[in-house]
Amino acid sequence: MSVLDDVQAMYAADTKGMLKSLWELPGQCARAWELGMAAQLPPAGQFKHILVTGLGGSAIGGDFLRVYAARRLGVPVVVNRDYVLPEFVGPHTLVFAVSYSGNTEETLSAYARAREKGAALVVLTTGGRLGEMARQDGVPVITVPGGIAPRSATGYLFLPTLAVLYRMGLLPDPGQEVHECVSLLQSMREELKPEVPRDSNPAKMLAAGFYNRIPVIWGSSGTTEVVAQRWKGQINENAKAPAYWNVFPELNHNELVGFEFPGELLRRLYVVILRDPHDHPRVQKRFAITREIMEGAVAGVVEIMARGSGALARLYSLVYIGDYASVYLAMLYGVDPGPVRVIDTLKARLAEE
């Protein structure tokens, strides 16, 4: 029996409950939306830019927002993964400072700088130092439930930002899209859950494709780019394995040329093309031509199509498959998907300095 069909063993190996968090994601999204709708708002202003500052699992929701808002919001969204902030940040910037733990030093530093620069702030966190600082400063805090891995909390760390922007009159009402997203995830989990055998579970099949190979995930600018990045991060953190990502059409102008040498290593790559019906028509043509050019050179190329009609459902449908696949890949490698000892060690060593 494949390890992917030993349901009990998988739950036993998953000491931090990553599978449980995945099962609970639809409920998390619904709750996250409510939290955002009930949150205290920052003072109204004439905002020229929105900036999300955070790292890792707390930053990816900023990219979800960036991509989602690009076609709906009159001002740019910038994601900042650093101690410092871009020079443009000032009183006309609305900053979301996001840290699940509330103790990530880069985010604490960026938060302090945003305060110095007079930006309007909203904090998303479970608490920690960031929560304390924001409360002392009178900055609105959206306190999200703790007890899961930051990367399992994308609903909590992303959807409240949509609710806040909508309530501030900056974004059209995404409420219907959130509901569609929640129902789609509820139906998808029945297909992706551990109890569904390998041969009919798309996430397990993907994990089997990735196993003992290097995943290369390709998305498209403006639609699935952020999902490609998410899959890469999830494979890294959950399966403790490398993965690489890139975007169409840019990759047609460089990366695709690099599929000739070294032939032996290229045959260990497993390529996933993430597709969305809203991809630019010319980009859709590029998928087929690209496949033809490089197919024989690598171990495999598969295409995964987004589901749902609204942008949120389409985005999360792809995120969900990738999240499950990364946990199943961890199972194939015999590693616990939850703990990220390398990140913990790094943070602890930096704290000693």
131 binds ligand PA5 (CB under 6 A): no
CA–CA separation, 251 vs 331, rounded Å? 31
CA–CA separation, 325 vs 261, rounded Å? 28
Candidates 211, 186, 228, 191; CA nearest to 313 is 186
Span from 19-27, 96-104, 133-141, 257-265 in contact with ligand PA5 (CB under 6 A): 96-104
- Of 34-63, which residues contact ligand PA5 (CB under 6 A)? 54-58
- Of 228-287, which residues contact ligand PA5 (CB under 6 A)? 237
- Catalytic one among 253, 260, 264, 352? 253
225 binds ligand PA5 (CB under 6 A): no
Q: Has 347 been annotated as catalytic?
A: yes
3-class DSSP state of 78: strand
111 binds ligand PA5 (CB under 6 A): no
101 binds ligand PA5 (CB under 6 A): yes
Number of H helices, E strands in the chain: 14, 9
Contact 213, 332 (CB under 8 A): no
198 or 347: whose CB is closer to ligand PA5? Answer: 347
What one-character-per-residue DSSP string does 266-300 give?
HTTEEEEEEE-TTS-HHHHHHHHHHHHHHGGGSSE
DSSP state of 90: S
CA–CA separation, 303 vs 318, rounded Å? 11
CB atoms near residue 346 (< 10 Å): 11
Cβ within 8 Å of residue 258, ≥6 positions away? none
Span from 18-26, 72-80, 101-109, 271-279 in contact with ligand PA5 (CB under 6 A): 101-109
Contact 82, 114 (CB under 8 A): no
184 or 319: whose CB is closer to ligand PA5? Answer: 319
Least distance in angstroms from the C-beta of 314 to ligand PA5: 24
CA–CA separation, 119 vs 60, rounded Å? 21
Least distance in angstroms from the C-beta of 27 to ligand PA5: 20
List the one residue from 29, 51, 97, 149 that touches ligand PA5 (CB under 6 A). Answer: 149
337 binds ligand PA5 (CB under 6 A): no
66 or 286: whose CB is closer to ligand PA5? Answer: 66
Span from 146-154, 192-200, 283-291, 327-335 in contact with ligand PA5 (CB under 6 A): 146-154
36 or 131: whose CB is closer to ligand PA5? Answer: 131
3-class DSSP state of 96: strand
Least distance in angstroms from the C-beta of 79 to ligand PA5: 13
Residue with tokens 């305060």, as numbered in its chain? 115
In one letter, which amino acid is 128? G
CA–CA separation, 283 vs 157, rounded Å? 30
100 binds ligand PA5 (CB under 6 A): yes
Count of positions on this chain that bind ligand PA5 (CB under 6 A):
16
Instruction: Tell me phi and psi for residue 78, to 5 degrees.
Output: -115, 135
161 or 201: whose CB is closer to ligand PA5? Answer: 161
CB atoms near residue 113 (< 10 Å): 18
Residue with tokens 């959950």, as numbered in its chain? 238
Q: Has 253 been annotated as catalytic?
A: yes
305 or 350: whose CB is closer to ligand PA5? Answer: 350
Least distance in angstroms from the C-beta of 104 to ligand PA5: 3
17 binds ligand PA5 (CB under 6 A): no
Contact 340, 237 (CB under 8 A): yes
In the structure encoding, which two tokens stand for residue 323, read together? 């999240």
List the one residue from 107, 154, 223, 234 that touches ligand PA5 (CB under 6 A). Answer: 107
List the one residue from 53, 80, 99, 238 that touches ligand PA5 (CB under 6 A). Answer: 99
Residues near ligand PA5, by CB under 6 A: 54-58, 99-101, 104, 107, 149-151, 237, 340, 343
Catalytic annotation, residues: 237, 253, 347
